Structure 1
């Protein structure tokens, strides 16, 4: 057992601090501001934060922590490799089973769905973090977007006291501390790391109760949507899609989520996303096209809507580096769900 309590550490932004406690995979550090004399507590992931951003003053303790990091990294590498191998084996077995089933079916037969599987579309707050050719959602928002989300859109999390972006806008921390928090794996918002983790949460309702994902399944399509600043709901765009390979329904303590680590995932540039208007593919429960989302964070879509979306995506990605990926994504989706599609370009 490494004795870390009261050990002195150095952080490049917060300066010198003393370890107060270590619990549940986190380390709590008490930093003392040199000018005001007030102390501030910060929580970091343990032992990961000691790789680059925290340094222990005691060489003996530092050596022990380094050894622990190496052991943990090795275990995680082994676990990821085993997970990937298992997923590859399951995918191959699934595809073979589908091919065998298709051989036994009469040509052009329509297969009646016997389960409640659906695809899922998510409503996401706009994030321009990491925007270049990619639309964003891979870093902390610009100052302009932080101010827009908090002051104009009044996003609940963005404007809360716990949110680091809100603390930055109020002048409690500077931009360097905000960026360091992101680098240290402190939670800023999950939009800021969405296109890095490829994991989307169902979130909570207005009463703080976790939402469940009951109809999305493995191999369903996940659709990522947002509204650009100063646009209306009718202008909601699609900026990414992926085929789900991991899904958690959720429970009373943890919200549901969908995610992927497969190659069947694709993002759109801002120009491309403007051509993929969400309400061109989705209808409300009444069956009418109405650009009204409401308070929910996700909606379900059927196979007809999903295939139409993927066909248009393939056209938009023609003559780009993602052309083959868009075609593979459409073909994989149809193959997984026994959908015959004669319009796929050969």
Structure 2
């Protein structure tokens, strides 16, 4: 029973690229138009706008922003390395700006000592700070997602381990008792009952083996299995074990975690005294979308208290698979477990 979680790398990388492009575009518009507004004189007059200059500025800051943002989303880089690379990239792009306006202007400004441009420094600094902050936020979000995925994987592995332990516990012990009952039928010459017993035993093990490939089963499938399972037990406890079923037909296609009924029936048989004078009667009923399994409490004198592993395992599977939990109630001399059903 495996719940596989796959996260394709290509879609993730594609989303990162798209986010980087959008952020770079936002930074480009923000740093250019905000500082354009700042550049107005006290009377509100602004310098004339040159179309070619605006286009060059937009393209330049888009490329620069995208490069710096991309550097900060490389997960294998440390924070210090990201900052150093971002600063270096920003400086390089800053030095390239004069050459973007007119050929040879970089040499003219350098020789004239006018390489420093306060507005450009403010723009580049703003771009650098926002890019580094975004990189840190991206790293934290990635770590959170990674932790969530890892926790889900560990839960699935733990659930699979618990299921395997439960299945392995069922098989040897149950098989040993079943073979003893079959041997008794053969010795007594009950050939027809022996043949039916073999068929029900095969149905039981076939269902348990098949259940490892799925997480949920329909109520109808679980009831068919538990009827076969109960038949094997009634042969062992002749005239001492009974099961009353009252099932609303509309719930037969509803679903529940596979092998939910078996541990409840097994616990009832294991922890209660079963005699001709006081037979054990198990009741299975549906009401309001809930499947209820109940039995009277007839404790054995020499049986140590149970560990409750079966109920804990069932509760864990319910919470993980359908985000709901079972309800265990003990009232006076009646033990009852309520199992939520999932509507198809």
TM-score category (smaller protein)? under 0.3
More strand as a share of residues: 1
Higher RCO (CA-CA < 8 Å; seq separation 6+) = 1
Report the structure number with the largest CA radius of gyration: 2
The two structures have a TM-score, normalised by structure 1, of: 0.23
